[in-house]
Amino acid sequence: MQFEIRPARQSDSASLIALTKQTPMEGNISIRIDRDPDFFALSKARGETEVFVAVNKADKLIVGCFSYSPQVFYSFGRPLTVYYLADLKIHPGYSKSRVAYVLVKHVQTHLRSIGGNLLFFTAVNDNYAVMSFFMGKAEYRVLTNLQTLKIYELF
């Protein structure tokens, strides 16, 4: 399969909502953040956000997405831009392909080109797909677990 990586457009919202419905965060409990009716609304709440999509060239199906949002933190009183990574979703039919690796690599290259070298993301501890990706074959060994939050109830 040939695919391309490109910035997402507002017109991709329905396809990204469909992808979100197919890709819950699986673990001991399964979580899916409903993005209907506008996939980009949550991203806009984070502030400036860039979303990239992987598109199957043959049928124009969006088979993956990944986003980042710059956030300003302060270190010893000085502002520091840190990039929050989110929305890594890969269509179940493409989970064994190179889509995730190429998509993440594309975002990583893009962030490096704009000076983004301090990144963070959150993941459900038992989210096997994302944890095995980042700690497995992709070998992103520069990741460090900073905090584990235990949530016993969700309302």
Q: Across residues 10-33, what is the average pLDDT?
A: 89
CA distance 43 to 49: 6
| Position 85, amino acid | L
Asked if residue 136 has pLDDT above 70, the reply is no
Compute the average pLDDT of residues 36-52: 94
For residues 82-94, average pLDDT: 94
Amino acid identity of 68? Y
Which residue type sits at 28?
Answer: N
90 conformational bin, left if phi > 0, alpha if psi -120 to 50, beta if neither: beta
Residues 6+ apart with CB under 8 A from 42: 33, 35
Minimal CA–CA distance to 4: which of 61, 43, 72, 78?
61
**What does pTM read for this prediction?**
0.86
Peptide bond before residue 70 is cis, with ω within 30 degrees of 0: no
Q: What is the pLDDT of residue 144?
A: 67
